[in-house]
Amino acid sequence: MKWSVFRIARLFLNFCYYGHIMNSIATFFKGVISEAKKTTWLSPVEALGHTAIVIVISVAVGFYLGLFDGIFSKLLQSLIA
């Protein structure tokens, strides 16, 4: 394999480009860690309360959708028959 000036220049540019990407990734994660330290986290009791609210609402919405699915299914079956 012959090493021309253009091949060496291309390898150098690729190395610089990927080095820039790795530097950008490191900078991104440093920023993420910095912002995570500034965050005020919920207490375990508050987190449990919010989790319970989400579960209750999810079950209610599931029941609501299931109810209307059953009603529309029966209605469609009666229209088809």
Q: What is the pLDDT of residue 44?
A: 94
Q: What is the pLDDT of residue 45?
A: 96
Alpha-carbon distance of 77 to 18, in angstroms, equals 61
Contact by Cβ (8 Å): 78, 71: no
Q: Spell out a b/e string for 5-27, using b for 16 or more CB atoms within 10 Å of the CB, else e.
A: eeeeeeeeeeeeeeeeeeeeeee
Domain boundaries, the chain: 1-39, 40-81
Q: What is the pLDDT of residue 28?
A: 81
Q: What is the pLDDT of residue 32?
A: 84
pTM of the model as a whole: 0.53
Alpha-carbon distance of 36 to 61, in angstroms, equals 33
Q: Walk along the chain (81 residues) in steps of 10 and give the mean pLDDT of each run.
A: 68 69 74 86 94 98 97 93 79
Alpha-carbon distance of 19 to 10, in angstroms, equals 14
